[in-house]
Structure 1
Amino acid sequence: MATLSFNPTRIPRTPKTKTASFRKPTSRVSFSVQPNASSGRKLAHGFPKLRVSTQEEAGVEEYEEDDPTVEMSYLDPETDPESILEWELDFCSRPMLDIRGKKVWELVVCDESLALQFTKYFPNNAINSITLRDALGSISEDLGVPLPQKIRFFRSQMQTIITKACRELGIKPIPSKRCLSLQLWLGERYETVYKRHPGFQKGSKPLLALDNPFPIDLPENLYGDKWAFVQLPFSAIREEIASMDTRFMFGSSLDLDLLGIAVDDETLIPGLSVASSRAKPLAAWMNGLEVCAVESDTSKGCLILSVGVSTRYIYATYNKSPVTTAEAESWEAAKKTCGGLHFLAVQEDLDSDDCVGFWLLLDLPPPPV
Structure 2
Amino acid sequence: MATLSFNAARLRTPPPQSLKPNLNFPSFVKPANVLSQSMPRNRLLVQKFHLNSVSEGSVSTQKDAEVGEEDGEEDQAQEEEDYDDPTAELSYLDPETDPESITEWELDFCSRPILDIRGKKVWELVVCDDSLSLQYTKYFQNNVINSITLKDAIESISEELGLPLPEKVRFFRSQMQTIITKACKELGIKPVPSKRCLSLLLWLEERYETVYTRHPGFQKGSKPLLALDNPFPMELPENLFGERWAFVQLPYSAVQEEISSLKTRYVFGAGLDLDLLGIEIDDKTLIPGLAVTSSRAKPLAAWMNGLEVCALEADTSKASLILSVGISTRYIYATYRKTPVTTSEAEAWESAKKSCGGLHFLAIQEDLDCDDCVGFWLLLDMPPPPV
TM over 0.5: yes
TM-score by length of 2: 0.87
Match of residue 294 from structure 1: 312
Residue 25 of structure 1: how far off its partner (Å): 1.6
Matched, 1:311 2:319: no
Per mean C-alpha deviation after superposition, the further-off stretch among 255-264 and 309-318 is: 255-264
Query: Match for 1:148 among 149, 152, 166?
Result: 166
Match of residue 382 from structure 2: 364
Q: Tell me how far apart the structure 2 counterparts of residues 282 and 70 of structure 1 sit (CA, whole Å).
A: 47
Superposed, which structure 2 residues align to 1:1-369 within 5 Å? 1=1, 3-9=2-8, 25-28=28-31, 40-44=48-52, 46-50=53-57, 52=60, 54-55=63-64, 56-57=67-68, 60-61=72-73, 62-63=76-77, 64=80, 65=82, 66-369=84-387
Q: Secondary structure at the match of 1:258?
A: coil
Q: In structure 2, do the counterparts of structure 1 residues 75 and 239 end up closer, same or farther at CA, with 3 Å as the change threshold?
A: same
Letter aligned with residue 307 of structure 1: V
Letter aligned with residue 311 of structure 1: T
Q: In structure 2, do the counterparts of structure 1 residues 297 and 110 end up closer, same or farther at CA, with 3 Å as the change threshold?
A: same
Asked if the contact 1:47–1:192 (Cα under 8 Å) also holds between the matched residues in 2, the reply is no
Asked if the contact 1:105–1:123 (Cα under 8 Å) also holds between the matched residues in 2, the reply is yes
Q: Secondary structure at the match of 1:71?
A: coil
Q: Tell me how far apart the structure 2 counterparts of residues 48 and 85 of structure 1 sit (CA, whole Å).
A: 24
1:235-256 Cα distance to aligned partner (Å, 9 max, x none): 1001111122211200010010
Letter aligned with residue 68 of structure 2: E
Q: Secondary structure at the match of 1:245?
A: helix
Asked if the contact 1:133–1:166 (Cα under 8 Å) also holds between the matched residues in 2, the reply is yes
Match of residue 15 from structure 2: none
Letter aligned with residue 327 of structure 1: E
Unmatched segments (≥5 aa) in structure 2: 10-26, 37-45
Per mean C-alpha deviation after superposition, the further-off stretch among 52-61 and 195-204 is: 52-61
Q: Tell me how far apart the structure 1 counterparts of residues 152 and 265 of structure 2 sit (CA, whole Å).
A: 41
Asked if the contact 2:323–2:333 (Cα under 8 Å) also holds between the matched residues in 1, the reply is yes
Residue 30 of structure 1: how far off its partner (Å): 6.4
Letter aligned with residue 237 of structure 1: V
Q: Secondary structure at the match of 1:50?
A: helix
Letter aligned with residue 304 of structure 1: I
Q: Tell me how far apart the structure 1 counterparts of residues 363 and 273 of structure 2 sit (CA, whole Å).
A: 18
Residue 359 of structure 1: how far off its partner (Å): 0.3
Asked if the contact 1:28–1:318 (Cα under 8 Å) also holds between the matched residues in 2, the reply is no
Residue 116 of structure 1: how far off its partner (Å): 0.8
Q: Tell me how far apart the structure 2 counterparts of residues 49 and 135 of structure 1 sit (CA, whole Å).
A: 21
Asked if the contact 1:41–1:336 (Cα under 8 Å) also holds between the matched residues in 2, the reply is no
1:20-68 Cα distance to aligned partner (Å, 9 max, x none): xxxx824437699xxxxx9843222x54452547553257422312111
1:215-238 Cα distance to aligned partner (Å, 9 max, x none): 000001101000000000001001
Match of residue 14 from structure 1: none
Percent sequence identity is 73
1:284-307 Cα distance to aligned partner (Å, 9 max, x none): 000000000001000000000000
How many residue pairs are counted as aligned between the two chains? 350
1:147-194 Cα distance to aligned partner (Å, 9 max, x none): 001000000000000000000000000000000000000001000100
Q: Tell me how far apart the structure 2 counterparts of residues 125 and 190 of structure 1 sit (CA, whole Å).
A: 23
RMSD: 2.0
Letter aligned with residue 7 of structure 1: F
1:88-117 Cα distance to aligned partner (Å, 9 max, x none): 000000000001000000000011111111
Asked if the contact 1:29–1:324 (Cα under 8 Å) also holds between the matched residues in 2, the reply is no
Q: Tell me how far apart the structure 2 counterparts of residues 48 and 147 of structure 1 sit (CA, whole Å).
A: 26
TM-score by length of 1: 0.91
Q: Tell me how far apart the structure 2 counterparts of residues 123 and 295 of structure 1 sit (CA, whole Å).
A: 38
Greater share of strand residues, 1 or 2?
1
Unmatched segments (≥5 aa) in structure 1: 11-23, 33-37
Higher relative contact order (CA 8 A, sep 6+): 2
1:114-166 Cα distance to aligned partner (Å, 9 max, x none): 11111000000010000000000100111110100100000000000000000
Q: Secondary structure at the match of 1:148?
A: coil
Per mean C-alpha deviation after superposition, the further-off stretch among 295-304 and 53-62 is: 53-62
